[in-house]
Amino acid sequence: MNIHKKIVVDEQGNPQEVIIPWDEFQELAEILGLDLDSEDLEDLRQAREDRESGKRDAYIDLDSI
């Protein structure tokens, strides 16, 4: 993924802000899961717990989908 950015600096040349195109921001938000609500996040936490504990009956076989 390429991020096209503009870096805003202060009078001393120190980076202060970064501006990126909106569509790239939205893609990053999706990749990082920033667009998920609390219910989705809880589902993911539960799935991780199930996976780590080896609880295979919590999952649906791909052939069943």
User: Does residue 1 lie in a domain region?
Assistant: no
Ordered per-residue pLDDT tens for the chain, 65 residues: 899 999 999 999 999 999 999 999 999 999 998 889 999 989 889 989 998 998 888 888 778 88
User: Does residue 49 lie in a domain region?
Assistant: yes
User: Does residue 63 lie in a domain region?
Assistant: no
Sign of CA dihedral 13, 22, 39, 59: negative
pLDDT of 26: 94
Q: Domain limits at 45?
A: 6-56
User: Does residue 26 lie in a domain region?
Assistant: yes
pLDDT of 54: 87
Helix H or strand E segment including 23 = helix 22-32
Domain count across the chain: 1
User: Does residue 64 lie in a domain region?
Assistant: no
User: Does residue 62 lie in a domain region?
Assistant: no
